[in-house]
Structure 1
C-alpha cells in the first residue's frame, strides 16, 4: 500500500470520523432516553426517575462535549485535505451543512444549559420542554448530516456546470433516493446503541452488588436495565426490517456496492447466501465459501430467482475493496442478531422472574455494552468503503477530490491528531468510567431538596414504584 497524500488523507478522515461517530451514536439516543426519564418523573412523581435523569445527564454532558470537539475537526479537513471535493460539491453540500448549524446546533445550544443546570431555576414543565428540544436538536442534526452523506451515495437534484455541482431541485437534493431509509436506519441504530449501553452498564452495576442488597441500592440499575431491554426487544426487529428495505435500495442504486457486500463476482439468479468466504480480488473468486443455496437471491430481491449483479460487470478500477466491505457487513449483521438474541432471552427471564438475578444473562448484557457502537462503526465502514472509488457516487472519484498537499504535511497532522485525541479522549473516557463506577445515587442518599416538588397535576396513573410492586409508589421528600 502506497502511503501517498491520498491514502494518508483517507486514513486521517477515517480516524477522526470513527472517533466522532461513537459520540453522536450515543448522545442521539441518550437525549431521548433523558426525555423519557423526565416524562416518567412528571407522570408519576417517582423520585427514582429524577435520580436516573441526574445520573445519565452527566454522562450525556461529557459525551456531547467530546462529540462537539471531534466534529469540529472534520469540518476543517474538507478545506485542508479535500479542497477539490469542497470545490465540486460546495454549492450543494455547503447549504445543507449550514442548515444543520442554524437549526440543530442553535436549538441544542439554546436549551442545553437549561437541561443541565436549570432544575432549581425553571419549572418542571419548562425543564422537560428544554430536554425535549435538546433531543429534537440531535435528531435534526442527524437529519442534515445523513442527508448530505446520502447525497454523496445517491446524488440527485443537481447539474454539473463548469465542473461543479449546482443544485436545481433542493427537494431532490435533501430527500435523495437513499436518504429516508438511511436516516431511519441510523437513528434506530443510535437508539439501540444507547439501549444496549444503558442495559450493559446497568447489568455491570447489578453484578457489583449481591442480588439481596437493599432495594434502594439496586432500584436505579434495575429500572434502567428494564426500560432499555424493553426498547431493544421491541425495536431490534424493526431495525432488521429497515435494514432489509435499505438493502433493496442499495441493489437498485449502488449495485456494485451490493456485489462487494455479497462477494458476488458473476451476475446470477438463485444466488446463495454466503455466510463466510475469503474473497480473492486477483483471481475474482471466493475461497472457503460457506453458503445456503438460493437464499441470497430471496434476501436481496425477495424472489428466489431474483437476479443479483456481479463485480465482473464493471472494470476493476470501479470496484470497491471487496474484503473489508464483505466482512464489515457480516460483523454488523452478526451484532444485530446477537442483539435480537439478548432481547428474546430477556423476555424469557422476565417470564421466569429472574431478569435481575441471572448472572449469566447479566454478564452477557454487560459484554453487549459496546455492541451498538460496533454495529454503527461497521455499518459505516460498509457504506463508505463500499462507495469507493467514488466520493460522489458516479460523478467524482476519491482520487480526484483530494487537496494538492504533500504526504509529509498529512502525516504530521495525522500524528498530531493521534496524540491530541489520545490525551483529550483518554481523560474524557476516564471521567466517564468514574461516573459509571459510582452509578445512580440510592434513593435513601438523596436529600429532600434535591428531589424537587411533585407535579401538581401528574400526567397519568401511579407507577409501579421503587420496590416493583403494583400500586407501591415512592413519594418525593418534602
Structure 2
C-alpha cells in the first residue's frame, strides 16, 4: 500500500484512531465541568437560564460521552493486536496505570452518569448536583491516569528491567514522572479552552441567525470569559512545558524549531517559517529572528539550544511534520487569546452580542481548540520518535510484526467504519447544537428541577412537534 511498511501502517492506524478518539474525551472533560458550573449557578440563583442550558448541553454531553467510550475501547485493543511487543515490555507499568483509570474514573463516571442524565425528576437537588460533580471529577481522574501513562512513556522513571520487562519499583516516581505535571495541566486546560470555543461558536451561530435570548447570550458570555482568562494561562503552561521538554527531550525541541546546527557561541535564532528537509539536513526558505529562539526556549539571550545535527540521524524526530504541527497549535492559541481580548473590548462597548464581524470570528473559531489539541498531540507523539518508550524501546521494536496486507486491510476497515459510524453521531450532535436551548421566556417562574416535575430527562432525545423525534428514534436504533 503506497510502498509503506507494516510498521508505518500500524502507526497510521493508531494515529487515525487516536485522532478520532481524542476530540471526544476533550469535549467530555470540558462539558462535564461546564454542566457542574451551570447546575451550581442554577441552584444558587434559581435563574432558569442556567437550568435550560444544563438540559441543552447534557444532551450533547451524553452523545459525545458515548462516542468517546466506543472509540477508546478500540484504541485499548490495539495495544494487544498491533503493539504486543510493547505490551510485553512495558505492560506491567502502562497496563496497571490504565487499569487504575478504569477502577477509579470509569466506574465513578458510570455510577453517577445515569443519575446525572436521567435523575433530574427522580432525585433531590443535592444528590443530582453531587452526581454532576462526580461525573466531572471522574473525567479529571481519567485524564490524570491516561496522562500519567503517556508521560511515563515520554520521561520514564521508577522501574527496573527484569527478564526483558519493565518492573515498577517506585509507583510515585512512575506516576509523577518529570513531564507529567506539565502534560496534565496542558491537556486539561486545552480541553476547557476547546469546549469554551465550541460553546461560544454555538452561541454565535444562533445570534447570527437572529435567535437572541438570555440563554444564547449567557452561552457566549461564559465562553468568552473562559477564553479571556484561560487562553493566556494555557500559553504560560505551554512555556513551562517547553522548558521541561528541552531538558528531557532536546531532540524534540530541535525538530520543532527546525534548528539544525549551532554556529560558534551565537545565540539560537527563532525560525518563524520554513521547510525542514530531513535528507538535506537543513530548513529551506527559513525566516529567522536572531536571539529570539534562545530567549523563548532558555529565557536568556546567550544560551544555545541543542541542534538536530548533534543527534544521530536515526534518533531524530521528523522535523518536517512537527515543525508545522507545533506552529498550527501555537498560532491557534494566539488567535484564541486575541479573540478573548476582542470580546472584552466589545463587552465594555456593549456590542458583544451584536458585532457581526466578531460573531463570525467566534463561529469559525469553534473547532480551533480541537484542531490545536490534535496538532499538539501530533507534535508530542511524532516528536517522541523513534522511541515508543523514550530512550529505552524503539517504535520499530514494539510492533507485533503483522504483514503489510493485514495492516492495509484493517486500516482500510477502520477508515470506512469510523467515518460511517462517527459521522452519524457527530451529525446528530450538530443537529442538537443547531436546535439551541429551549427556554421558558414569558412563562411564570418555576420551581422545576431535581425532585420536581418540569423538564423530562431525555438526554438522547431532540424530539419536538416538527418530527425530529422520529429522527432521534431511528438514530437510537442504529446505534
TM over 0.5: yes
Query: What does residue 281 of structure 1 align with?
Result: 278
> Per the alignment, in what secondary structure is the counterpart of residue 451 of structure 1?
coil
Q: CA deviation at 1:223?
A: 0.3
Task: Specify the alignment match of 2:179 in structure 1.
Answer: 178
- 1:335 is paired with a residue whose SS is helix
- Equivalence for 1:405: 402
- Superposed CA offset, 1:407-427 (max 9, x none): 211112111111111121111
What is the CA deviation profile of residues 155-195 of structure 1, one whole-angstrom value per residue up to 9, with x for unaligned ones?
Answer: 01111111111111110100000000110000000000000
| Alignment correspondent of 1:201 | 202
Change (3 A) 1:15 1:304: same
Task: Give the aligned partner of residue 77 of structure 1.
Answer: 78
- Give the corresponding residue for 2:94: 93
Of 416, 420, 424, 1:423 maps to: 420
Name the SS of the counterpart of 2:213 in structure 1. Answer: helix
| 1:12 to 2:13 alignment | yes
Work out which of the residue numbers 247, 255, 258 in structure 2 matches 1:260.
Answer: 255
* Residue matched to 1:251: 246
- Superposition deviation, residue 445 in structure 1: 8.2
| Corresponding residue number in structure 1 for 2:160 | 159
Mapped contact 2:269–2:292 kept (Cα < 8 A) = yes
Q: Which runs of 5+ in 1 are unaligned?
A: 456-478
1:40-66, Cα deviation, whole Å (9 max, x unpaired): 000100111000000000000000000
Gaps of 5+ in 2: 453-479
SS of the residue corresponding to residue 271 of structure 1 reads coil
In 2, Cα distance between the equivalents of 1:340 and 1:157?
38
Q: 1:121 to 1:447 in 2, by over 3 A?
A: farther
> Residues 415 and 453 from structure 1, CA distance in 2 versus in 1: closer, same or farther, beyond 3 angstroms?
closer
1:230 pairs with one of 225, 232, 253:
225
| 2-structure distance, mates of 1:454, 1:299 | 55
2: CA distance between counterparts of 1:445 and 1:149? 51
Distance 1:357 1:41, change over 3 A: same
- For the 8 Å contact 1:267–1:313, the answer to whether it is kept is no
In 1, the alpha carbon distance for the partners of 2:430 and 2:253 equals 39
CA offsets per residue over residues 418-476 of structure 1, 9 Å max, x none?
A: 11111211110111121011100122387977833799xxxxxxxxxxxxxxxxxxxxx
Q: CA deviation at 1:307?
A: 1.6
* Matched residue, 2:439: 442
- Which residue number in structure 2 is paired with residue 138 of structure 1? 139
Summarize the alignment of residues 348-367 of structure 1 with structure 2, pairs less than 5 Å apart.
348-367=345-364
CA 1:453 to 1:125, structure 2 compared with 1: closer, same or farther past 3 Å? Answer: closer
Aligned CA RMSD, in angstroms, stands at: 1.6
Given the superposition, is the C-alpha separation of residues 69 and 445 from structure 1 closer, same or farther in structure 2, using an over 3 Å criterion? farther
SS at match of 1:283: coil
2:340 to 333, 340, 343: 343
Q: Is the contact made by 1:89 and 1:164 (CA closer than 8 Å) also made in structure 2?
A: yes
**Secondary structure of residue in 2 paired with 1:303:** coil
State the partner residue of 2:193: 192
Query: Counterpart of 1:122 in 2: which secondary structure?
Result: coil
